[in-house]
Amino acid sequence: MGNDRASLTKQVKESNDIVDVVGGYVSLRPAGDKFKGLCPFHGDHNPSFLVDPRWQNYRCWSCGKSGDVYTFIQEIERIDFREALELLARRAGITLEKNADSAHHQTRAAMLDVARWSAEQYQQCLLDSPLAETARRYLGERRLSGESVRRFGLGFAPVAGDWLVQRAATAGKSTELLEKVGLIARRNEGNGFYDRFRDRVMFPIRDARGQTVGFGGRILPTSPLAARAPKYYNSADTPLFTKSEHLYGLDLARQTAEKAGYLAVVEGYTDVMMAHQAGVAQVVATMGTALNVRHVQHLRRFVPRVVLVFDADAGGNTGVDRALEIFVSQEVDLAIATLPEGLDPCDLLSQEGGAERFKEVLAKAVDALDFKLGQLLNDGAATSLEGRRRAVDAVLGIIALAPDMAGKNGQVKRELVVGRIAQRLALKEETVWARLSELRAARPASEAASKRASEEVTEEKREAPAAPRERQLLQVLLAEPGLVEKAATEIKLEEVQHPGLRRLLDGLYRLRAEGQIPDLDALRTRIIDVPRLAEAALGLQELGRLIPDRAECLRGLAASFRKQRDEPRKQELKNQLRAVNDDSTALELLRQLQNQSVGADP
């Protein structure tokens, strides 16, 4: 199975020349034996992006981005390695279903296909069927244009309980797959299926690449089912769709957001549609859930800043407090924007000049910490000493409950947060740190806290610098896979201390033991779960290619590891030699010590 995956990865890469692939996104021109263009990953004005057809890699000498055709697609499309493999395989006309992962890929592809087909059926019904006349009037009343309806793929699910089931039977679509994507369900008596969405305007939920993965449905206000059915109803979680992770409109918002530098998050589907219709396209919505860490981590793949849009009541203290927790615990600039009183985004955007007013709202957004401090200090009670003390405890109490952001960036952010609180509340930073420590100590010890501490230790270990010989060993082996066999006989896996480098070396040794070519293309199928490790491996390979005599370098490295391995025994012999009084024993110890020293020489 591993051999099939490695072979497929290599086949797909060899079938996608990096110059052709990158040339589809960037205008390239020849520059000697390479190609040059403007870097797509930063605001490049002077061409600093080089693509090398010989090594099939790229590098930007300005921002430092580098990699191969897989990492380019991952970066430019904001997808993971498996998705990049699928995209490049389709580009090359290679069918993934024939490889060892066929069951997983085939099922997912079939689910995506039936979700796409269902979206088309619903949209055709909305646009053309007499059954959808009331739905069309409803959307007109909401001031949604025909262009917006088509662009977002809106549809209609008729009131009949088996409309989609019947169409699926006619089209030969699998009811099992329709059940898996959450559109139909089995009847209680077990005889047949029924539609889960009835008399609803259908909003296809698409992933960042525009693939339909789920649905939201809004019951028509005039529906006979309205009194006993929820107004909005989303697909249940499926292998394609997770309500707490996906964001409505992201596929259409991402390009504008990248230019704007932020994404605004609202609550409703129609809020998103009206914003896009008004020319403010950097807007998405959650699926009826509050913004959470997974949402933010997903959004951070596209933009550094997230603006959370609240109604005039600021979503209540709960919404602001949750936003502050995310702000202090994640590497994100999370800001809060407040709408005029009595208006939601859809209402505001429908007014004369609403688009400009909405843009002003977004422009005036302040980060979650400033927003919370503003809430507390604008309260009349906060003007007294006791009121200010309560304000300090209110904001620090939220921060005390939030997990610490790991690494040096986390430390800097914590210091900036404490510094701002001290400044706004006219306190010494030492006083704020002390009170924060007290509040943290007072919170109950929990399994989650222990887990966070463990994660921080792991993060520190992962970020610790590797020994130079360990780095150079991987540079040599990734640049010249033919040397892996010699390395495996002379350098033991456990002699490499850095966990990331040890995992790379373990992968190379395992590939060699399985009779496969131990190169980076085969290795990356085994480190899919750690994208940063794959990125590091590419950098190591590039540096390794600059080493003129890699075989000689490996001999020196093997001697260095051997010397390190023998050092404890040499020290032990030296200690014994100092303590011994017998001449014959001393001579024997000197002989052993000399043999150890000779054995350590290259």
Question: Per mean pLDDT, which range of 172-176, 249-253, 317-321 is the poorest?
Answer: 317-321
Give the pLDDT confidence of 384-400 residue by residue, as tens digits: 788 888 888 889 998 98
pLDDT at 235 over 80: yes
Residue 594 is predicted with a pLDDT of 67
Cα–Cα distance measured from residue 70 to residue 11, given in angstroms and rounded to the nearest whole number: 12
Beta-carbon count within 10 A of 157 CB: 27
Beta-carbon count within 10 A of 359 CB: 14
Percentage of the chain modeled with pLDDT above 90? 45
For residue 212, the cross-strand partners are 206
If you average pLDDT over residues 196-219, what whole number do you get?
93
If you average pLDDT over residues 551-580, what whole number do you get?
78
Q: Which residue has the higher pLDDT, 442 or 241?
A: 241
- pLDDT class for 5, splitting at 50, 70, 90? low
- CA torsion 158→162→168→169, rounded to 10°? -140
If you average pLDDT over residues 426-431, what whole number do you get?
90
Most confident residue range from 54-58, 285-289, 565-569, 590-594: 54-58
pLDDT at 459 over 60: no
Radius of gyration of the CA atoms of the chain, in A = 30
Question: Per mean pLDDT, which range of 136-140, 182-186, 561-565 is the poorest?
Answer: 561-565
Cα–Cα distance measured from residue 343 to residue 349, given in angstroms and rounded to the nearest whole number: 9
The closest alpha carbon to 507, from 497, 494, 495, 520, belongs to 520
pLDDT at 533 over 90: no
pLDDT at 460 over 50: no
pLDDT at 307 over 90: yes
- CA torsion 495→496→502→505, rounded to 10°? -80
N residues, the chain: 602
**356 with 280: CB under 8 angstroms?**
no
Most confident residue range from 72-81, 339-348, 587-596: 339-348
For residue 156, the cross-strand partners are 201
Cα–Cα distance measured from residue 185 to residue 6, given in angstroms and rounded to the nearest whole number: 39
Question: Per mean pLDDT, which range of 43-57, 100-114, 143-157, 523-537 is the poorest?
Answer: 100-114
CA angle 70–76–77, rounded 5-degree value? 85
The closest alpha carbon to 402, from 296, 309, 299, belongs to 296
Question: Per mean pLDDT, which range of 251-255, 307-311, 461-465, 563-567 is the poorest?
Answer: 461-465
2-97 under CATH 3.90.580.10, yes or no: yes
If you average pLDDT over residues 257-267, what whole number do you get?
91
Residue 240 is predicted with a pLDDT of 87
Average pLDDT, the chain: 85
Question: Per mean pLDDT, which range of 65-69, 182-186, 538-542, 565-569 is the poorest?
Answer: 565-569
Residue 364 is predicted with a pLDDT of 94
Residue 462 is predicted with a pLDDT of 43
Percentage of the chain modeled with pLDDT above 70? 87
Residue 64 is predicted with a pLDDT of 84
Phi, psi of 472, rounded to the nearest 5 degrees: -65, -35
Give the pLDDT confidence of 38-96 residue by residue, as tens digits: 888 877 778 899 999 999 999 998 888 899 999 999 888 777 888 888 889 988 888 77
If you average pLDDT over residues 266-291, what whole number do you get?
93
Phi, psi of 151, rounded to the nearest 5 degrees: -65, -40
The closest alpha carbon to 265, from 355, 364, 363, 334, belongs to 334
Strands (E), 39-111: 49-52, 57-60, 66-68
Cα–Cα distance measured from residue 268 to residue 294, given in angstroms and rounded to the nearest whole number: 19
If you average pLDDT over residues 452-476, what whole number do you get?
65
pTM of full prediction above 0.75: no
CATH number of 102-234: 3.90.980.10
Residue 455 is predicted with a pLDDT of 41
Beta-carbon count within 10 A of 587 CB: 12
**165 with 194: CB under 8 angstroms?**
yes
Q: Three-state SS for 309?
A: strand
Cα–Cα distance measured from residue 506 to residue 512, given in angstroms and rounded to the nearest whole number: 10
Cα dist from 218 to 124, 184, 397, whole Å: 17, 17, 39
pLDDT at 338 over 50: yes
Beta-carbon count within 10 A of 591 CB: 11
Biggest distance spanned by C-alpha atoms of the chain:
109
Burial category of 443 from C-beta neighbours within 10 Å (exposed 0-12, middle 13-18, buried 19 and up): exposed
3-state SS of 412-470? HHHHHHHHHHHHHCCCCHHHHHHHHHHHHHHCCCCHHHHHHHHHHHHHHHHHCCCCHHH
pLDDT at 203 over 50: yes
Cα dist from 194 to 116, 171, 178, 185, 187, whole Å: 19, 17, 11, 6, 6
Cα–Cα distance measured from residue 252 to residue 237, given in angstroms and rounded to the nearest whole number: 22
Residue 601 is predicted with a pLDDT of 46
The closest alpha carbon to 328, from 266, 371, 279, 358, belongs to 371
At 158, list the tokens: 């008729």
Q: Which CATH number fits domain 459-602: 3.30.750.24, 3.40.50.10860, 1.10.860.10, 3.20.20.70?
A: 1.10.860.10
Residue 166 is predicted with a pLDDT of 95
Residue 45 is predicted with a pLDDT of 77
Cα–Cα distance measured from residue 286 to residue 342, given in angstroms and rounded to the nearest whole number: 21
Residue 13 is predicted with a pLDDT of 92
Q: Which CATH number fits domain 250-373: 3.40.1360.10, 3.30.450.260, 3.20.20.150, 3.40.50.720?
A: 3.40.1360.10
